[in-house]
Amino acid sequence: MILRASRTAHPNQALGTSAATFESRDVSRGVFLTFEGSEGCGKSTQVKRLAARLARKGLPFLVTREPGGTAIGEKIRELLQFAPESAAMRAETELLLFEASRSQLVREMIEPTLTQGTHVIADRFFDSTTVYQGAARALDPKIVEQLNAFAIGNCRPDLTIILELDVAAARGRMLRRVRPVGTPDRMEQEPLEFYERVSAAYRELPAREGDRVQLIDGSRSADQVEAEIWRILWERFGANFQPRQPRIENPKSKI
């Protein structure tokens, strides 16, 4: 079943960007949603809240993360973020490891899951590489774009939510975060200037892909942010988020 809708401006879109509900979408395929933002912006909280909402509606979904999400990806995550050896890691090595984890995740988990009609919620995806390795690490943006395209193939998100939060406020949240005793996350140990570059690069993304990327004020309460995210999802993909009717089969029929 194909649901069609005309392009309309979203009331919260940035000036000068284009937005769309959806023009042509197979409602039998799952919706692919990604959450982005700097450390401490609240995206992981919103991933959990959206998952809980879908669960209450009885909708099938998969929550995953980057790097990680597969057995191979989780090994890469450990190497990237927590292994003592990662202190010597160069930016180019970091980029290639993120892409390796992503390539495995897309082919092993995300694409097969969407094809089955199950929604996918990802805590980070290729936009993180565009921002962290391309902008903040100052690697060649064309090479980053090419590697992103190679890693994801045709598996692009239907919608990306970026939670925007002032760098100082995000830093304060990070300092209050309770972490298990052990090796700190290397990606959270960068100087303030690094996260300022991250934040600036995220703010530029909606101008490039206004149809896909939505920038949301993450400084509000978790309840307010959750409500806005759900409103956006319902406006764009309401048909996909209707409660599923149980499938009734005739046990005597193979049709």
What's the pLDDT tens digit per position in 93-104?
999 999 999 999
The percentage of the chain sitting over the pLDDT mark of 90, rounded to a whole number, equals 72
Would residue 58 count as lying in a domain?
yes
Q: How far, in Å, are 47, 173, 197 from residue 176 at the CA level?
A: 20, 5, 22
Q: What average pLDDT score do residues 62-70 get?
A: 98
**Are the C-beta atoms of residues 47 and 28 closer than 8 Å to each other?**
no
Burial track 172-195 (b if 16+ CB lie within 10 A, e otherwise)? eebeeeeeeeeeeebbeeeeeebb
**Lowest mean pLDDT across 44-48, 96-100, 191-195, 251-255:** 251-255
> pLDDT of 205-249, one tens digit each?
999 999 999 999 999 999 999 999 999 999 999 999 988 654 444
Q: Total domain count for the chain?
A: 1
Q: How far, in Å, are 58, 71, 139, 226 from residue 209 at the CA level?
A: 31, 32, 21, 22
State the residue range of the domain holding 84: 31-241
Would residue 142 count as lying in a domain?
yes
* Structure token pair of residue 234: 């319902």
Q: What per-residue confidence (pLDDT) applies to 8?
A: 34
Q: How far, in Å, are 36, 207, 228, 238, 249 from residue 50 at the CA level?
A: 14, 25, 11, 14, 31
Would residue 128 count as lying in a domain?
yes
Query: Across all residues in the chain, what is the average pLDDT?
Result: 86
pLDDT at 22 over 60: no
Would residue 213 count as lying in a domain?
yes
* Structure token pair of residue 245: 């009717």
Look up the pTM and report it.
0.84
- Which domain CATH number covers 136? 3.40.50.300
- The span from the CA of 153 to the CA of 151, in Å, is 6
Number of H helices, E strands in the chain: 9, 7
